[in-house]
Amino acid sequence: MKKPFVTKAQVEDIVKNYPTPFHIYDEKGIIENAKAVYDAFSWNKGFKEYFAVKATPNPVLMQILKAQGCGFDCSSLTELMLSEAVDAKGSDIMFSSNDTPAEEFVYADKLGAIINLDDFTHIDFLEKTLGKIPETISCRYNPGGVFQMSNGIMDNPGDSKYGMTKDQIIEAYKILKDKGAKKFGIHAFLASNTVTNEYYPLLAGQLFELAVEIKEKTGVALSFINLSGGVGIPYKPDQEGNDIYAIGKGVKEQFEKILVPAGMGDTSIFTEMGRFMMAPYGALVTKAIHEKHIYKEYIGVDACAVNLMRPAMYGAYHHITVLGKENAPLDHVYDVTGSLCENNDKFAIERALPEIEKGDYLFIHDTGAHGYSMGYNYNGKLKSAELLLKEDGSVQLIRRAETPRDYFSTLDCLGVMEKLYKIMDGGK
């Protein structure tokens, strides 16, 4: 069973200052996991984890990861700004974007970030935008076809909008070398949220073999190989999670088998994990406020899909613990719903849970990545606060909850703002 990292008593104390709903993160778990990742890849001298900022774009959490040696994988202007704000510099930032506006390439170059080109045509676009090709450059690879593992988990890179074909990427390195680039990398992402120790070693084997071929055909010896993300977590309690040490060992075996004999044993390995780094160490805490008895049994909570979009967006499973009833029998079946005017605003459908009473606190697991960050304001709903459960047991506010004033702030181009301010101020 999944175990919450806060108790009912802790939540009852927290809500005295920060009412539900809120996202809360476990500092101790984040640090221990980051240390394990670096330990698992310590055999590679240049290893670096570039945390995927899109997963959890909060500067306090980014600082925690930075203190453990992590850099940042950015894909937008604001993510670059967040990285700059936490004093990430130069090669601590990997800029992996697609359909990229010129101004974002300019900003990434200003920061000295490693630019990872998504498309062959971006070579010319980048050169015209910057007036040069950076000395350090990376290219994203898409092998096409279907990527399948022995346990049946698969994805379809050939249907993905990302990356270059094999012929394109080999030609790209030739051109980039001729244009003055001196240090090169490669990047690929083939499958999402894999719960198997097999994924990274399989991907690594493909990229290592391609790296050898690139060296033979272009004279470019890749300085780094970026395995990107895709290492998942067990959202369901009966799933077995990934073993980062087994994954690191599997990548090492491929490294020694393919790269070392080719004279490429000094190649650095990079990763860009978001979900694996953060998801298990965040939760959405919400309170049961209504119950409904019609054709099904419903529990209405004070959170909604604005706070956690994944279940509504694509039916993702998030385990739910009713705090204080961890050992109670799962003898009731509920749909757990939010208040949006959309029928897919459900955190659980026909889920076996303990009997839930109004006032109970529900701990929705594994929201530390792609949880708060995917929020939106449909129905005029406001985003929740984010809290950090610190190692010493104290709780820190790391993002306040939105207010109506925040929601209306972009209407400052209209005369209606004065009326809204009066309404928010009680009509005064």
Active site residues: 341
Token pair for residue 31? 């640090």
Of 246, 249, 251, 243, whose CA–CA distance to 276 is shortest? Answer: 243
Length of the chain: 428
- How far is Cα 218 from Cα 119, in angstroms, rounded to an integer? 18
Mapped to the 3 state alphabet, what secondary structure does 166-201 carry? Answer: HHHHHHHHHHHHHCCCCEEEEEECCCCCECCCCHHH
Residue 343 class from Cβ within 10 Å (0-12 exposed, 13-18 middle, 19+ buried)?
A: exposed
- How far is Cα 260 from Cα 267, in angstroms, rounded to an integer? 9
Collapsed DSSP state (helix, strand, coil) of residue 418: helix
Of 219, 111, 204, 230, whose CA–CA distance to 170 is shortest? Answer: 219
| E-assigned strand segments in 161-303 | 183-188, 224-226, 268-271, 282-293, 297-301
Is residue 413 within 8 A of residue 40, CB to CB? The reply is no
